[in-house]
Amino acid sequence: MKRAIIIHAWDSAPEQHWYQEEKKLLEEKGYSVDLPKMPGGLWPKQGEWLKVIEGLKPDKDTIMIGHSLGVPAILRYLEDTGSKVDKLFLIAAFAVDLGIEETSNFFEKPFDWEKIKGDTSESYVINEQNDPYVPLEKGKEVADGLGAEFSAVESNIHFDKMDLDLINSRL
């Protein structure tokens, strides 16, 4: 069974942004899709987010899509567990503290890129050229760390909306 897990951004919800539209498109392609509400609101805790992801039991037939803070959550889960997944789609990607106190607990140690690289067959990093929250070079750093394909797209305010073909054309 093909599966997809979408991990939303900080201070967001499954009903926001492009998540429901992508869920519907994936289901039409035969995917079972999990789109959990991540805990913590404005003060998320990395450990709580990792427990949610762990409870979904991603496996080698799972694609994982992370948006903004969903990216380091997915990366840390893969690093810590060694779980193998099919593909990663990392949207508005970053892997370092951006100076936001509420989310700094996600970056208490650097990522071990070598461990994470072995956990997926394909990785795609998609960042905006003029994202007001995540500088483009932060996405490039994630792509370099993973050896992932990198795409820089026109801005639309931190992927509030998104051309979903950036994901679906690569399935």
Structural domains of the chain, ranges and CATH numbers in brackets: 3-168 (3.40.50.1820)
In the block, residue with structure tokens 């990366």: 75
pLDDT at residue 156 greater than cutoff 80: no
SS3 call for 3 = strand
| Residue 102: band (very low, low, confident or very high) from pLDDT cuts 50, 70, 90 | very high
Task: Give the pLDDT score at 157.
Answer: 86
List the one residue out of 78, 106, 85, 80 whose CA is nearest residue 94. Answer: 106
- The number of residues in the chain equals 171
